[in-house]
Amino acid sequence: MSRVRSKNTKPEVSVRRALHAAGYRFRLHRKDLPGKPDIVLPKYRIAVFVNGYFWHGHGCKRSKLPATNTEFWRGKVARNTTRDQEAQRQLAEIGWHVHIIWTCSTKHGLEQLMQLLQGRKPGIPV
């Protein structure tokens, strides 16, 4: 299992590649934004988090908690989820659209992101 906010994971890299191929400009791991989003599209004010399904508690089949030490893991995941929600709330407050891509369904999340981008008018980069 990887760390909570590990950088440059395989799904993250494939999302970056697709965005780059489609001609979108983006920045990585911006420390000046709440939750340090993995990918930021400044012209579109979109913050993307590429979230591991286990650590960030997706709730899907694959994110099931281990049968041993279940309460320990539940607590850990719950703390991450709370932190994620807080960052998302703060980002929304300062006018960012947050898009989550789950690592169990990267392709789907990426398709949604592309649709989102196509439907948004670019503005002055932030």
Q: Which residues bind Zn ion (CB under 5 A)?
A: 53, 58, 60, 102, 104
Tell me how far, at minimum, the Cβ of 72 lies from Zn ion, in Å: 21
Tell me how far, at minimum, the Cβ of 51 lies from Zn ion, in Å: 9
The C-alpha atoms of residue 17 and residue 48 are separated, in whole angstroms, by 14
Q: Are 9 and 50 in contact (CB under 8 A)?
A: yes
The C-alpha atoms of residue 66 and residue 24 are separated, in whole angstroms, by 39
Nearer to Zn ion, 60 or 78 (CB): 60
Sequence-distant contacts of 88-96: CB under 8 A, at least 24 apart: 88/35, 90/34, 90/35, 91/33, 91/34, 91/35, 91/37, 91/47, 94/34, 95/45, 96/33, 96/45, 96/46, 96/47
Nearer to Zn ion, 14 or 90 (CB): 14
Tell me how far, at minimum, the Cβ of 13 lies from Zn ion, in Å: 19
Tell me how far, at minimum, the Cβ of 73 lies from Zn ion, in Å: 15
Tokens of 113: 């992101």
Tokens of 118: 């196509």
Nearer to Zn ion, 3 or 31 (CB): 3
| Residue with the CB atom nearest Zn ion in the bound state | 60
Nearer to Zn ion, 60 or 94 (CB): 60
